[in-house]
Structure 1
């Protein structure tokens, strides 16, 4: 009996020793494959919180096919989005400061010079400058306020199906009924069956803002008695909206620049009559809906030199359909 008990005790000790070795090996493996990477990711996230102004690199474990790899990829994408948003805010603040400084400098100069004006004509000119700068500041502040809260509004609001047929028809009627100082007519055409609503997921008010900006832009560049045409059609999984005018077109080197913030090229209008934010806001809205927008020139008949002429500008918006 004593021999049997001793043998069983030795067997239990052997099993315990093997189990201890296995547990130690598993603990080392788990620490190196799970706890260690998680700790490195947590330390990197903490460094991001402390050093928000300096870009911190998140450890890359995306080659792993488990949850750690997925977590690493998600943290890297989130950090990149955070830094891109911070950089965009900094650029926006710098652009706003630069744009506001110009009219403020002009306004300050006019106000300081006004007491020194000796004639009524000089005072009238200075008052005109002051009035122009105040209106420009008011326009800039309104557009800047709209642009600054755009992202937050698009994130807070739930997307719904937008009937583009009804939206474009309504905006066309409004544009034709509220023509101010010009006789440019707006025509809308739908390329598809009458029952097709051309529905896209999004925010109807913001998409309406995009079309309104494009219509206002086209009307301002069109000649008296000209027409602005809107075409809406389906292209596979996308809805395409085309806005064409009969104006002078766009310079080739400005086809991309016109969508930049505060850029404006309106030689036919006085300085400071436009904030340069309309097309930038439109691009921001379209991209937030997963779409694209670009500008191009309409090709007209060939001129005397044999080169094709420019018949106007064309803005193309493509949005993913439902």
Structure 2
């Protein structure tokens, strides 16, 4: 609704509908009032024109001194000049509306005039009673319109509220679905209109989406489980090879494949929604320092508070920090910096920064984005974000103003 958006920016949909309904009612009332006013006044003028014409015609055919000529005058001084000229140059009776008001407020009039021997005989029909009746009718119509508005606005607001309440149910369901609650459904909605159709469509879409995600999750889990055994066999076979460059290269490739399988299994578990945090009260700086040291990668750690404690799952926190640090080294440039401040951990590199799709849509599995950030499977950040969700932490991805990717992990002080 462009009009409602432009004119009523601060109102909810309910009051926009009520306002537009009231506007429509006012428009109809004004249109009807104007139409009735003009039609009524035109009818009154026609009637008085006929009255004045008949009075003059009766006088013209009556004998001198007849009572039918009481209201007919010869060259009356208040006869409009234009009507006098028209009568002198016409062979018949001419009429004209005179909207002037007399000293006693005895106007307006409807004149009828005709020339007779170089003089003008004329009469007028008084329209003052009609004028007052017209004003009274206009006032009554205004009062009636206001009374109708007093009824229409609450009724339209009530009816719009029923519609908005049903729409809000659908909106809530869609918001829950977008937040990852795949079992959210609107359920049956009253009526058989567009709102019920939208609600049914959203529920159907949610069912379809849930089935597809479940199918994908099962496929990922099945593939990972099936690959686990042959990968283990490959590792055992690599141990039988003689030491050398070929053995080292093969072992590294098998190790990468094993890590990929383990990542797929972890994503499958996270997608199932059955993961729960095992919370403990731990010193944040100590956990981060130990995790960074375990990566064996050259990383600078700074902190402004060594005494901050958080209630979280330390294993999942370590997994998040490890993935972010490894990602910064693999896809960014040194130095890689980790900074701990109260309950916030920031990991930053000095490379080309995150690609646009991560900044706008978040990390996606098997999508690594910009080639200048290197190659990979796109699973590290995906797992970190999912694990952050499990421990009720907030993980955001931005690019620093001076260059480089920056991941910020905000941990809750207490478990939610």
TM-score after normalising by structure 1? 0.49
Name the larger-Rg structure. 2
TM-score after normalising by structure 2? 0.39
Higher RCO structure (Cα 8 Å, ≥6 apart): 1
